[in-house]
Structure 1
Amino acid sequence: MFELTAAVRAFAEERDWQQFHTPKNLAMALAGEVGELLAELQWLTPEQSEAVMRDPELGPRVRAEIGDVTIYLVRLADVLGIDLVEAARDKLADSARRYTVEAARGNAAKIEAPPTS
């Protein structure tokens, strides 16, 4: 992850884009790219969406949009000083506590987080 973060940072610095890479702007750009990814999958059936990477036209477009999403997410985490892998591991551990195997297996219902004091 460090190499990708450094490459994305260098890309922005070479173009003097740091001035535009505020957390707000990056989050908005990330949302836009997620929207473009959604647009590629929007009208597919569940079966078509599962097979999308085998489609010679759609597969590369989905891959490119996921690349864009990843780049903006990595850049946002970098600007905010967040270790993306550590944040994901922490969130996964929290989700494991909230969504125990017994309570969540085969069930997509949201489980409310316990109140914080």
Structure 2
Amino acid sequence: MLDINELIKKIRQFRDERDWMQFHDHKNMAVSIIIEAAELLEHFQWKEKEEIDEYVEQHRDEIEEEIADIAIYLFELADNLKLDLTWENSLRAANEAKEEVT
């Protein structure tokens, strides 16, 4: 499994090989995340709790693809904004927030 930095490097390479950076500004990336999230949500819309497990099994590949699209856009947006999404940074931020509350 790739770590986040390796994944972001592969996403960057894929984007740059296609000269897509011209289309991947912050707004377009944020919009794309929401569009992909809506496509994921369509899989669950109007389904009863009892139907979900069976539906997921039957549509696993499609659901996986939507989640992957969301993750790719999210990591690329974070990279474009120069945000640090590493686990270590998340833990540090969580600890700092906890210390502020006490």
Residue in 2 aligned with 1:49? 52
Candidates 22, 25, 31, aligned match of 1:28: 31
Deviation at 1:15, TM superposition (A): 0.7
Aligned CA-pair RMSD: 2.2
Structure 2 letter corresponding to 1:76: L
Structure 1: gaps (5+ residues): 98-113
1:37 and 2:35 equivalent? no
More helix by share: 2
Structure 1 34/89 Cα, relative in aligned 2: closer, same or farther at 3 Å? farther
Indicate whether 1:17 and 2:20 are aligned: yes
* TM superposition outliers: structure 1 runs of 4+ over 3 Å: 50-53, 86-91
| Matched length | 94
Change (3 A) 1:39 1:10: same
Equivalent position SS for 1:41: coil
In percent, how many aligned pairs have the same letter?
A: 37
Q: TM-score, normalised by structure 2?
A: 0.78
Q: Which has the higher contact order (CA 8 A, sep 6+)?
A: 2
TM-score (normalised: structure 1)? 0.69
C-alpha separation between the residues in 2 aligned to 1:40 and 1:25?
23
Q: 1:84 to 1:52 in 2, by over 3 A?
A: farther
State the Cα distance separating 1:43 from its structure 2 match. 1.8
Stretches of structure 2 that go unaligned for 5 or more consecutive residues are: none
Match of 2:62 in 1: 61
Tell me how far 1:51 sits from its aligned partner.
Answer: 4.7
The structure that has the greater radius of gyration is 1
